[in-house]
Amino acid sequence: MIDYLYLFLYKLFSLLAKILPKKAMDFLLKGLAKFAYRVDKKHNHIINANLKLAFKETLTQIDRDKIGVRVFYNLLQTIIGFIKRDGKSKEEILKDIEFKNSHILQNAIDNNKKIIFITGHYSNWELLPLSVSAKFGINIVGVGRKLDSELMDRVLIKNREKFGIEMVYRKGGLKGIIKALKNGKAIGLLLDQHLGAKQGGVEINFFNYKALHSPSASILARNFQATLIPVFISTNNYKKYTITFYNPLPLIKTEDKERDIIDMTQAQAKITEDVIKEKPDEWFWVHKRWKGFYPEIYKRESK
């Protein structure tokens, strides 16, 4: 039953996206974002806890509230963007995308490098791999969590596969990633969330605080001599988007494997931090990013 509720909501927003003028849709989404930020006390608290830790007194509560509303607005725009792309061609999608530093990726392609993209839940992260695949004609394999709704999961997969994106689920996904690298496909990893020590997370510094970070990209790059390319998407108006490629991160391979992996993982955390600092209102601040070392900041006072 819940599957059909999700499908109904998907169809409803598909209809609204088609019939409502852009300004009216933006007005609706901003209203929903403000409402969600106000009533979702759990994620409101997480957002504020993260922002207070990361930026300390440099942000006022008004600043934090603006970013909090933008978090929900970004998410809604990501969902609506996904809906609007249904049925569109690669050319239609790419006309609203600007690519910066494209030579970085093109050089890796021309030299037959194994490629691992490093990114995060930033701006319209769903649009990022589709655009890169469409622009450069490469297959990208991503790792994600299966949606609770089987029906909507199939819709999501169909949308992605149309543009050359393949997905493997986190559980048992390592085999799929290794197979993809061996077959010359690129890998896309969102590595901005907490990964517990029991799951293999390694300690890094993030916004001058200790955090746990997935070493998966570091291990894969080290084992397969892959090129680690950070790439992020950003927007100013939710119509035109900019995808920026950053210089490949150093591949470190010494006799101290553990140190190599930590250093490579720290470099990934650092570029992610730098991107977030530039435009903090585009990051998805609802993750408990620092819970491995500072779980107390996420505790809410009982009333």
Q: In CATH, what number is assigned to the domain containing residue 233?
A: 3.40.1130
Residue 177 lies in a domain: yes
Residue 21 lies in a domain: no
Report the distance separating Cα 117 and Cα 129, nearest Å.
9
- Terminal Cα-to-Cα distance of the chain (whole angstroms): 35
Q: How confident is the model at residue 138 (pLDDT cuts 50, 70, 90)?
A: very high
**Is the confidence at residue 257, as pLDDT, over 80?**
yes
Cα–Cα distance list, 263 to 167, 251, 254, 260 (Å): 28, 10, 11, 5
Q: How confident is the model at residue 9 (pLDDT cuts 50, 70, 90)?
A: low
Q: How confident is the model at residue 1 (pLDDT cuts 50, 70, 90)?
A: very low
Q: What is the pLDDT of residue 167?
A: 82
Residue 45 lies in a domain: no
Q: How confident is the model at residue 6 (pLDDT cuts 50, 70, 90)?
A: low
**Is the confidence at residue 13, as pLDDT, over 50?**
yes
Report the distance separating Cα 167 and Cα 160, nearest Å.
8
**Is the confidence at residue 67, as pLDDT, over 80?**
yes
Total domains in the fold of the chain: 1
Per-residue pLDDT reduced to its tens digit, 161-186: 777 788 887 666 788 899 999 999 99
Q: How confident is the model at residue 147 (pLDDT cuts 50, 70, 90)?
A: low
Per-residue pLDDT reduced to its tens digit, 92-119: 999 999 999 999 999 999 999 999 999 9
Q: What is the pLDDT of residue 301?
A: 72
Residue 239 lies in a domain: yes
Task: Give the percent of the chain with pLDDT over 70.
Answer: 89
- Do residues 192 and 120 make contact, with C-beta atoms less than 8 angstroms apart? yes
Asked which of 11-15, 250-254, 259-263, 284-288 is least confident by mean pLDDT, the reply is 11-15
Of 274, 269, 275, nearest to 292 by C-alpha is 269
CA 19 to chain centre: 29
**Is the confidence at residue 32, as pLDDT, over 70?**
yes
**Higher model confidence: residue 115 or residue 143?**
115
Residue 49 lies in a domain: no
Q: What domain range includes position 156?
A: 89-298
Residue 205 lies in a domain: yes
Residue 190 lies in a domain: yes
pTM score of the predicted model:
0.92
Q: What is the pLDDT of residue 22?
A: 84
Residue 221 lies in a domain: yes
Per-residue pLDDT reduced to its tens digit, 286-301: 999 999 999 999 998 7
Of 19, 143, 167, 17, nearest to 86 by C-alpha is 17
Nearby residues of 21 by Cβ (< 8 Å), 6 or more positions away: none
Q: What is the mean pLDDT of residues 23-34?
A: 93
Per-residue pLDDT reduced to its tens digit, 184-230: 999 999 999 999 998 899 999 999 999 999 999 999 999 999 999 99
